[in-house]
Amino acid sequence: MIGIVVILGVSWLLLVFIQEKGLSVLGFLPLKKALIQFSYGLASVMLIRAIILFFEAQFKSFEFTANPVFNPEELFSSFWYHFKSALTEELMYRGALLYILIQRIGPKKAIWITSLIFGVYHWFSYNMFGGAIVPMIYILLITGVAGFVWAYAYHKTNSMTMAIGMHLGSNFFLSLFLPNQPYGELLYSITGIAELSEWNQLYVALFSGLGPSILMFFAIKLYLTMEEKFNESEKALT
């Protein structure tokens, strides 16, 4: 948490000295709206990840084996760990930096730049820099596109909260089924994966890597449409 406090402090300084704004531009207030957007992001991505995993299971013909030593405390620890991780990365790449760039060079360029930076960052966080070129391109693509979608959410909602919920939901869901570190396979493990040809492996990898981001984009569009209709109905009543 100390790191998050430091990032918030640096964000405040950047916003004050460059844009003469405070942390309010990050969209954590009003609290009710922020919680609704966070909850929508979290719930929608958990559903999206479940759909993607279901179809991936059909392609690879794998099975799910329940974890015999389910630990609720470890489940909570995983959620808290991924919440802090998602909040940290969102503050770094979709927080003050994105806001300042949007004000200085416009939303399109700002979203593309921060998405590219976010993708390159994962080369280092995954210890991939200087390794095989194809995996590096793949990671840059899937993380960059995810960063693009979350930056789009910030731009359209004027708040980081939906992106935080989506980021958290995506990472936390994977810890329930996949052997991630430091938490993985908390509910189920995947067994009996079928052998696929190289081209089919590529198709499935692109589907599982880009599919969630594409569906997240449409989930954001759906939220914006529902919000617009709700606001119109509120105006009609008044």
Q: What is the CA radius of gyration of the chain?
A: 19
Per-residue pLDDT at 166: 98
Average pLDDT, the chain: 93
State percent of the chain over pLDDT 70: 100
CA 28/CA 227 separation, integer angstroms: 17
What's residue 120's pLDDT? 95
**pTM of the predicted structure, to 2 decimals:** 0.93
Residues 75-109 pLDDT 10s: 999 999 999 999 999 999 999 999 999 999 999 99
Which residue ranges make up each domain of the chain? 29-227
Q: Is the pLDDT of residue 54 over 90?
A: yes
User: What is the predicted pLDDT for the residue at 69?
Assistant: 82
- Please return the burial class of 46, using the count of CB atoms within 10 Å of its CB with bins 0-12, 13-18 and 19+: middle
Average pLDDT over residues 174-190: 89
Is the pLDDT confidence value at 23 over 90? yes
Mean pLDDT of 12-23: 96
Please state, in angstroms and rounded to a whole number, the distance separating the CA atoms of residues 11 and 26.
10
Biggest CA pair distance of the chain = 61
Residue 19 has what pLDDT? 95
d(CA 29, CA 204): 40
